[in-house]
Structure 1
Amino acid sequence: MKRGQYVVIGLGRFGSSLAKELIELGYEVLGLDKDEEAVDEMSEMLTHVVAADSTDEEVLRSLGIRNFDCAVVAIGDDIQASVLTVILLKDIGVKQVVAKALSELHGKVLEKIGADRVIFPERDMGIRVAHQLVSPNLLDYIELSRDYTIAELQVPKRLCGRSLKDLDPRARYGCSVVAINKKNSVIIAPTAEDTLDDQDVMVVIGTNEQIESFENAVIG
């Protein structure tokens, strides 16, 4: 099979949204759900859609799931089915298995049984919204790991014309500006001489504390 083929198991709100976005990005997607109504709704949007039980090993093998580049287990409300599906996917040799967790405990179980990546859509979205509420200049916030975060900070008018050398975020705050989104272009890995304009967006990487210090001292 060609690279870039995904199977999304569980076509609820998260799974269907993920599957449609993968299609928009140009990938082939097989959607699988035991709910025939959910399958019917997605039948014309995805490459293929199948109504089937993902905890049935024979079904997974007959669909050639092991040949897909990545399987996403997006089952929304049945932890047992989620766990069994991940076990079967790993057992039949799927290269990468990504699983949605409903709770921290569910996530730990998924990690223990071999999921390559565990995601917490509701928790992560809650964290991002909370940060956006308390930091007016923060446009987006993504936790990369326990130690590092990447954030988008909007440049206020008073910094217009200032260079990154003037701000010196690395030396003063420990964080780094890795890109500047301008009105009609994006500067990747900007130099110290690059200047800021009103309404530019700085993409900053560092710890939560470093980014907060930088935002409070320079942006806020």
Structure 2
Amino acid sequence: MKKQFAVIGLGRFGGSICQALAKQGMEVLAIDTDEDRINKYASIATHAVVADATDDNTLKSLGIRNFDHVIVAIGDNIQSSILTTLMLVEQGVNHITVKAQNDYHEKVLNKIGAHKVVHPERDMGIRIAHNVVSKNVLDYLELSDEYSIVELMAGGLVHGQTIIELDIRAKYGCNIMAIKRGDQINVSPQADEALKRGDILIVIGADSDINRLEQSLFDDDD
């Protein structure tokens, strides 16, 4: 069965989520107070309605508690974001994801019962910062304050060497989860797998260990 999603707030973040869910064939209810935004997504979402999500009766009339997942993507109005989240929690929505503007906003959302809080601007900023600092870091995903997954581009320093020869786990405390080579992805590569220039290594580990690995083996101009 298709999952049913509701997206509240159709700014850049909410709108992109609405489009991505629709492309995956999900049923999406798009909600916003701005009629122009609703008109923009009327042909993308399964249903699109002009509504005030801070009103308890409005949410009940939309049957919001019957949705599998509700995403609160309200922009700069923190008060509306918090009030909407509270209404959703009180109505017993199964899964609520909310966009936070700052750490204080996140603390309040967690206290009132949001199931997941995201910081899209902050997280994207972190990813871009890692990308611009090093040409070898292609992508970055923060798992916690100390652990991350990164994509590292193999250069001349590792070309022709096998995973066991590099001994990355023992020397740097990192694990190679997969290797991308062109259109091919090798998940859990064998120890005798030889790396090639241009390979993309998906590595998991502590941030400090990943930094040591990058500086030692991937910080080259070849």
Report the TM-score when normalising by structure 2.
Answer: 0.95
The question of whether the paired residues in 2 share the 8 Å contact of 1:74 and 1:100 is answered with: yes
The CA deviation string for residues 148-183 of structure 1, in whole angstroms up to 9 with x for no partner, is 101000111342222111111111001111011111
1:127-146 aligned within 5 A: 127-146=126-145
Partner of 2:3: 4
The question of whether the paired residues in 2 share the 8 Å contact of 1:167 and 1:218 is answered with: no
The offset of 1:108, in angstroms, is 0.9
| Structure 1 stretches of at least 4 aligned residues deviating more than 6 Å after TM superposition | none
Partner of 2:77: 78
Aligned equivalents of 2:128 and 2:33: distance in 1? 32
1:1-220 aligned within 5 A: 2-220=1-219
The CA deviation string for residues 10-36 of structure 1, in whole angstroms up to 9 with x for no partner, is 000110011101112222211100111
User: Aligned AA for 2:189?
Assistant: P
Aligned equivalents of 1:121 and 1:16: distance in 2? 13
User: Aligned AA for 2:114?
Assistant: A
The offset of 1:63, in angstroms, is 1.3
Report the TM-score when normalising by structure 1.
Answer: 0.96
Unaligned runs of 5+ in 1: none
> Could you tell me the percent identity over the aligned residues?
46
User: Aligned AA for 1:121?
Assistant: P
User: Aligned AA for 1:122?
Assistant: E
Aligned equivalents of 1:155 and 1:182: distance in 2? 10
What is the SS of the residue equivalent to 1:187? strand
RMSD: 1.1
